[in-house]
């Protein structure tokens, strides 16, 4: 009976899809808080340590989900990173982040590099943060 | 780490023993170098030459080395992807605990807008290198032809005097070599074999690092250092080391 309860509860937790944090080859993702509106995603390809923050874009700037999903980005984290054209040049042509980060809607993709690029140092820092959240 | 703090905490042989008067003079030079008073004084940027030379052409004749190797960082482009660091490790067999180049980070949460900046550093191949003066065995020396500050590892006794003399924290003790190791602008691994670029500059995806011959008016480093539109600066000019690594933005 005990075993069934454990099995059932893991199934329910698994199905609910609530990911607190995850560190994989592809990158790091974690949820800052429940009202953040989504995950903090740190990409590692083609360069290490590029942060997309749902907390900033959804909670703080108040952008609705539809502004990006699913026309520009699919719901699955790191899906775009698997595309070979997930590079700065595509952003300059208005793809991915460049759809808004074009100098009109939001700051242009070829400016303020270290705003989104948190680098290897940022990646390591956020990895630690994600690990702490994982343990909770 | 906040690199202002980082550099402040680094001790050099000059610091603390320079009279106030002299230091003030050095700082003035610093202001000129950072472009605050660029007009007409930009020649001072070139850490090499005697003052008072009139034109860039005359200046380049006066470079003491040929080729006069130099590196310019377009520092605002740096994203700390550390491909340069990795490329350097592989090319020059730099162990995990060591470094020939590294990226410093500065975070200022009170800054307007962008709150993070990265800054790569490596050996500045100074024209007046404090490390060379500090070395008791002449294991580290200024190459007479290229100006590269090199190591003759077999002469190194591991006293680490050069490490503490270096204003740029560009040296570490290599356990395997039992000697100090440092950036040699990839002389041993690449330039001496006919290659033209350093591994770090080649690996940089953002065009931060530009390597070349400062005495060649056609080189990119020459063009950046000898222009007046954008500020060009060196780190810690007050030490009087006259570095050959320059910083700019854009």
List pLDDT tens digits, range B167-226. Answer: 999 999 999 999 999 999 999 999 999 999 999 999 999 999 999 999 899 999 999 988
Chain A hits for B82, Cβ within 8 Å = 48, 119-120
According to the model, what pLDDT value does residue B48 have? 38
Say whether pLDDT at A9 is over 90: no
* B129 neighbors B106 (Cβ within 8 angstroms): no
According to the model, what pLDDT value does residue B16 have? 44
Q: Which residues of A62-98 are buried (b: 16+ CB within 10 A; e: fewer)?
A: eeeeeebeeeebeeebbebbeeeebebebbeeebbbb
CA-CA distances (angstroms) from residue A41 to A14, A23, A108?
20, 10, 20
Q: What CATH number does residue B193 fall under?
A: 3.30.70.20
Is the CB of B105 inside 8 Å of chain A's CB atoms? yes
CB contact under 8 A, B82 and A120: yes
* B217 neighbors B57 (Cβ within 8 angstroms): yes
Tell me the average pLDDT of chain A. Answer: 88
- A/B interface, count of CB pairs below 8 Å: 51
Chain B hits for A122, Cβ within 8 Å = 80, 116
What is the total count of domains within chain B? 1
CB contact under 8 A, A119 and B79: yes
CB contact under 8 A, B114 and A47: no
Is the CB of A110 inside 8 Å of chain B's CB atoms? no
- Chain centre distance of CA B18: 22
Alpha carbon distance B136, B22 (integer Å) = 27
Say whether pLDDT at B49 is over 60: no
Comparing alpha-carbon positions, the chain B residue that sits nearest to A44 is B81
CB contact under 8 A, B81 and A118: no
Higher pLDDT, B4 or B24: B4
Quote the DSSP letter at residue B233: B
Query: Is B173 part of any domain?
Result: no
Rounded (10°) CA dihedral B46, B50, B52, B53 = -70
Tell me the average pLDDT of chain B. Answer: 83
Say whether pLDDT at A20 is over 80: no
Structure tokens at B158: 């591991």
Q: What is the CA radius of gyration of chain A?
A: 17
Higher pLDDT, A134 or B152: B152
Chain A hits for B80, Cβ within 8 Å = 49, 114, 117-122
Q: Write phi, then psi, for B56 (nearest 5 degrees).
A: -60, -35
Alpha carbon distance B204, B210 (integer Å) = 9
Chain B hits for A113, Cβ within 8 Å = 76-79, 206
Q: List beta partners, residue B233.
A: B247
pTM of the full predicted structure?
0.80
Q: B95-144 pLDDT, tens per residue? A: 999 999 999 999 999 999 999 999 999 999 999 999 999 999 999 999 99
Query: Is B158 part of any domain?
Result: no
Query: Is B50 part of any domain?
Result: yes
**pLDDT band at residue A4 under the 50/70/90 scheme:** low
Q: Which domain holds residue B76?
A: 3-127+185-248
Chain B hits for A112, Cβ within 8 Å = 113-114
Query: Is B161 part of any domain?
Result: no
CB contact under 8 A, A49 and B80: yes
Higher pLDDT, A62 or A133: A62
CA-CA distances (angstroms) from residue A89 to B2, B101, B205?
31, 28, 12
CB contact under 8 A, A120 and B80: yes
Alpha carbon distance A70, A66 (integer Å) = 7
Query: Is B72 part of any domain?
Result: yes
**pLDDT band at residue B228 under the 50/70/90 scheme:** confident
Least confident of A63-72, B16-25, B30-39, B184-193: B30-39
Q: Write phi, then psi, for A45 (nearest 5 degrees).
A: -135, 145
Rounded (10°) CA dihedral A49, A50, A54, A59 = 100
Preferred mutation among A113, A115, A122, A126 to probe B, highest tally of B CBs within 10 A? A113
Q: Across residues B54-81, what is the average pLDDT?
A: 80
Could you give the domains of chain A? Answer: 20-135 (3.90.10.10)
Cα–Cα nearest to A58, from A33, A29, A37, A31: A37
Minimal Cα–Cα distance from B68 to chain A, Å?
31
Query: Is B147 part of any domain?
Result: no
Q: List beta partners, residue B120.
A: B103
Say whether pLDDT at B38 is over 60: no
**Bridge-based pairing state of the strands B149-151 and B171-174:** unpaired
């Amino acid at each position: 009976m005990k075993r069934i309860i454990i099995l059932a509860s893991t199934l329910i937790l698994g199905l609910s899809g609530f990911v607190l944090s995850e560190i994989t080859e592809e990158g790091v993702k974690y949820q800052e808080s429940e009202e953040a509106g989504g995950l903090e995603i740190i990409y590692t390809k083609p360069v290490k340590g590029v942060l997309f923050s749902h907390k900033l874009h959804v909670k703080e700037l108040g952008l609705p989900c539809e502004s990006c999903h699913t026309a520009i980005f699919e719901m699955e984290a790191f899906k775009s990173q698997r595309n070979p054209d997930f590079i700065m040049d595509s952003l300059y042509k208005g793809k991915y982040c460049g759809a808004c980060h074009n100098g009109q809607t939001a700051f242009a993709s070829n400016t303020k590099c270290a705003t989104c690029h948190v680098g290897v140092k940022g990646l390591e820092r956020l990895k630690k943060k994600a690990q702490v959240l994982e343990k909770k | 780490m906040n690199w202002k703090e980082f550099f402040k905490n680094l001790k050099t042989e000059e610091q603390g023993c320079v009279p106030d008067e002299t230091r003030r003079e050095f700082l003035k030079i610093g202001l000129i170098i950072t472009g605050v008073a660029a007009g007409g004084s930009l020649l001072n940027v070139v850490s090499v030459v005697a003052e008072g030379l009139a034109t860039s052409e005359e200046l380049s004749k006066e470079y003491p080395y040929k080729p006069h190797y130099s590196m310019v960082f377009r520092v605002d482009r740096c994203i700390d992807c550390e491909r340069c660091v990795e490329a350097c490790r592989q090319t020059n067999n730099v162990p995990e605990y060591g470094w020939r180049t590294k990226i410093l980070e500065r975070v200022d949460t009170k800054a307007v807008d962008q709150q993070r900046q990265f800054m790569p550093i490596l050996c500045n191949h100074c024209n007046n290198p404090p490390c060379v003066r500090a070395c008791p065995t002449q294991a580290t020396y200024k190459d007479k032809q290229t100006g590269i500050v090199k190591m003759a590892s077999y002469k190194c006794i591991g006293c680490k005097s050069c490490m503490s003399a270096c204003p740029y924290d560009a040296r570490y003790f290599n356990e395997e070599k039992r000697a100090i190791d440092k950036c040699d602008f990839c002389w041993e691994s690449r330039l001496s074999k006919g290659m033209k670029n350093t591994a770090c500059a080649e690996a940089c995806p953002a065009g931060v690092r530009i390597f070349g011959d400062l005495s060649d008016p056609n080189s990119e480093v020459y063009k950046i250092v000898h222009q007046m539109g954008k500020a060009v600066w060196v780190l810690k000019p007050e030490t009087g080391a006259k570095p050959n690594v320059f910083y700019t933005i854009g």
